[in-house]
A and B are shown apart, each in its own frame.
Chain A
């Protein structure tokens, strides 16, 4: 078992889920409330990573952050380094890869909030900002938590995107799934088995807790029902 790979993967998953919350809350709210006629195009873009093969997504990200692309050159000017084959590059790729898993539950939960409550809030003098944090966010919190947990679990297990843009650098881009692949390639089945079991158990526990919370509704957030 490689503790280094495990910690690296956890660090990646936590970071990616947090970034996805920062993106997913406004984007999910916009998707839930906008009446823009071309909104469906944006919905399709958000859903794309679900159907796209990870290698295709990874390839495009790699090209986009490579030293020949505008993004890569801009990043080089800014930091003097490259995004490709670094931990930061992995974060960028993983955020794109897990985006629908964060945004879709959040958008669904926000659009389920009764519009009358939002209208009532504004007639009572609340700004849109306050309405979001006091009405939309707490009532949509189950969806927000689902989005957080799903993007966390999804990032834990990704393989194709990491391989394309991160390579296999110990301590920088070698995540659990890459490490397991390495062990299998070198016929080291015992080690692969151990790590795979850890990943399986972690994902199972996370999902069990998530669905259990949703069912019992005893937790504070669901308490009003």
Chain B
């Protein structure tokens, strides 16, 4: 793929206010009020449905008009309510990958890809479409209609169609939700590779936490029309003060690890938590030895023993010391130092019968399948 002559750091800056739904029809009259700026690279937009994620994308693309605000990419203003600027969608050059893909059913793959290149002459158009078809592995499909190719291939075609115009920013609205995990990760790899060369802001709407970890340099959490958290996936999700983030995270324990060995015959692999000597046995994934992975463990999935357990099927038994305990409703939240800190949840009854107090030595027991490989 060609690297453009100047790889400028684009910035997408968004400030929108818009009443969602139709208040006169009895809706809650939720107001979207979001303000953020993102640089080149992937930013995840996460939130429950109805929070206004798609409305934000539509406003950026010009498909919906904010009640007020300002939207710009680099130094180009697309919308400014104060200066009465509202650039038409077709003049914005923003790539938009819809959840439904929206491939034109009556056109071949080639005509779909070349649709956005109408201003080029035929030769250059063909060169550009062939180039992008090669890099997205769809060169063999160019003469087929969208109905005659697989779901993963349609995904690639839609992505190629959006990228071939060299957009100033890319918007993706849960584009991978219909795909299986391995197809998805291959496509995301290609997308990431493309963006290394083009360096545009990519805004990616998803509700899948695996995608949040795999893709995001940064996460924006949208709840009821407002941005309630903003940071790296690790920062936002490891401190789940907000309910929506806790839901997203689900994992109170998130560790960066390196793969030490894979045991294909046992369906597991061993990895070491970075910055410690703690080894975890996790389900086998296709990650080569020596590579980094991220592992998530729910605090409620960890068992505690007050003496070292023997004869268990669980593969992970880790010694540690309780450093803090606090009770929240009917859950006791313990922090346990095993070389790295683990959060463990148990009941007040368990606390009493095991005599769990600060400073006590305990053993953490973890099934392999309680360790979720996040990327």
Contact = CB atoms under 8 A, between A and B. Distances in A.
A120 B96 contact: yes
B89 A123 contact: yes
Contacts of A139: 105-106
Nearest to B119: A125
Contacts of A138: 106
Interface in A53-70: none
Given A130-B118, A224-B106, A122 B90 contact: yes
Given A114-B102, A224-B105, A123 B95 contact: yes
B116 interface: yes
Q: Determine the interface band of chain B, counting residues with CB < 8 A from chain A.
A: 20 to 34
Nearest to A122: B89
Main secondary structure of the interface of B (DSSP, over half): loop
B161 interface: yes
Contacts of B88: 122
Interface residues of A, number: 21
A27 interface: no
B93 interface: yes
Given A120-B96, A130-B118, A125 B102 contact: no
B118 A125 contact: yes
A133 to B, nearest CB: 12
Interface in B105-121: 105-106, 115-116, 118-119
A127 B88 CA distance: 9
Interface in A143-178: none
Nearest to B164: A124
A127 B96 contact: no
B353 to A, nearest CB: 58
Main secondary structure of the interface of A (DSSP, over half): helix
A50 interface: no
B112 to A, nearest CB: 9
B61 interface: yes
Given A125-B165, A127-B90, A120 B118 contact: no
Contacts of A19: none
A121 interface: yes
Contacts of A127: 90
Interface in B143-158: 145-147
B100 interface: yes
B304 to A, nearest CB: 51
Contacts of A33: none
Residue from the set A122, A223, A225 with the largest chain B CB neighbour count within 10 Å: A122
B102 A116 contact: yes
Contacts of A117: 102, 104
Contact of A120 (B92, B102, B119): B102
Contacts of A125: 90-91, 93, 116, 118-119, 165
Residue from the set B94, B102, B116 with the largest chain A CB neighbour count within 10 Å: B102
Contacts of A135: 104
Contacts of B89: 119, 122-123
Nearest to A139: B106
Contacts of B228: none
B122 interface: no
B98 interface: yes
Residue from the set B62, B93, B98, B104 with the largest chain A CB neighbour count within 10 Å: B104
B305 interface: no
A134 B165 CA distance: 18
A139 B145 CA distance: 14
Contacts of B147: 224-225
B63 interface: yes
Interface in B236-258: none
B54 to A, nearest CB: 11
Nearest to A116: B102
Given A125-B118, A126-B90, A224-B147, A119 B165 contact: no
A109 to B, nearest CB: 13
B98 A124 contact: no
B139 to A, nearest CB: 21
Contacts of A122: 62-63, 88-90
Contacts of B103: 120
Nearest to A130: B118
Interface in A79-110: none
A126 B115 contact: yes
A221 to B, nearest CB: 8
Contacts of A134: 104, 115
A159 to B, nearest CB: 40
Nearest to A138: B106
Contact of A114 (B62, B100, B145, B146): B100
B22 to A, nearest CB: 12
Contacts of A114: 100, 102
Residue from the set A121, A123, A125, A126 with the largest chain B CB neighbour count within 10 Å: A123
Interface of B: 61-63, 88-96, 98, 100, 102-106, 115-116, 118-119, 145-147, 161-162, 165
Given A114-B102, A125-B165, 8 more contacts: A116-B102, A119-B61, A119-B102, A120-B103, A123-B96, A123-B162, A125-B118, A139-B105
23 contacts: A114-B100, A117-B102, A119-B63, A119-B89, A119-B102, A120-B96, A121-B115, A122-B88, A123-B61, A123-B89, A123-B92, A123-B96, A124-B90, A124-B162, A125-B93, A125-B118, A126-B90, A126-B115, A126-B116, A138-B106, A221-B106, A224-B147, A225-B147
